[in-house]
Amino acid sequence: MLHLDCSANRSAESVTRQLTREFADRWAGPGYRYRDLAADPVPPIDTAYCQLGRRSERLGVVPLVDVDQLIQSEAEAEAWALTRPLIEEVRAASVLLIGAPLYNYALPASLKAWIDRITFPGAFADDVLRDLRVVVVTASGGAYGPGAPREGWDHQEPYLRRYFGNLGVQDLTLVRAELTLTGLVDRLAEFKPLAERSLAEARARITRWHPPVRAQARPEVETHAAS
């Protein structure tokens, strides 16, 4: 499993970090890799990345193993050295777990930077992600579902559904905890019972998704930035 956290709030208050940790702690698979995209952000793509990608596209999309042969500058070599390991992590995973709070009605910038970098031309052209199971755990201070005053303002979920669908992912689960600001914002206090129910339902979905809790420590742990 590849586990990504994106919340800029790295404290115990982060709902997405709480929920992804609960999910990861139940993981009984053969391997686990963790990246904290807030603590160790992926650099945004730059000119060198774009030039290397366009060169690959001109040739009809070059297999990843051959991209090294297209590099024409030190900057392009550095861009590819940052990019290829991230792509290989995704290609090697059977489960991709993402903790992604809703920021200003869209993705955290740290997650978008990661997405932009792994989406190198041809990175997933061989349908390698068809069997990947993607679980996105998200949280929002308000509510954006049917009937809510700001229904339709959530641009994160539609984006992620289209993005992973375009990559060939067949199994995408979105787990949402809503109204997380009810304990902080007075005008939302009346919705606290709804918030508690939403969080309980998110935890229940995580529990149902998983096989039984493992009896031994998580194997093959590889961590990038402490959680």
8-state DSSP, 187: G
In which residue are the tokens 């990038």 written? 224
What percent of the chain is modeled with pLDDT above 90?
73
pLDDT surpasses 80 at 223: no
The dihedral over CA atoms of 159, 165, 171, 172, expressed in degrees to the nearest 10, equals: 0
Name the pairing type of β-strands 32-36 and 2-5: parallel
Residue 144, token pair as written in the block? 């954006």
The secondary structure element, H or E, covering residue 17 is: helix 15-25
Name the pairing type of β-strands 133-139 and 2-5: unpaired
User: What's the whole-number average pLDDT of the chain?
Assistant: 89
What is the Cα–Cα distance from 194 to 202, expressed in whole angstroms? 12
pLDDT confidence of 218, banded at 50, 70, 90?
very low
Residue 39: name the closest of 10, 68, 65, 66 by CA.
10
The overall pTM is greater than 0.85: yes
- 130-185 pLDDT, tens digit per residue, is 999 999 999 998 888 888 889 999 999 999 999 999 999 999 999 999 988 887 77
How is the chain split into domains, by residue range? 2-224
What is the Cα–Cα distance from 179 to 199, expressed in whole angstroms? 9
What is the Cα–Cα distance from 102 to 107, expressed in whole angstroms? 6
pLDDT surpasses 70 at 190: yes
8-state DSSP, 80: H
CATH code of the domain occupying 2-224:
3.40.50.360
pLDDT confidence of 213, banded at 50, 70, 90?
very low
pLDDT surpasses 80 at 212: no
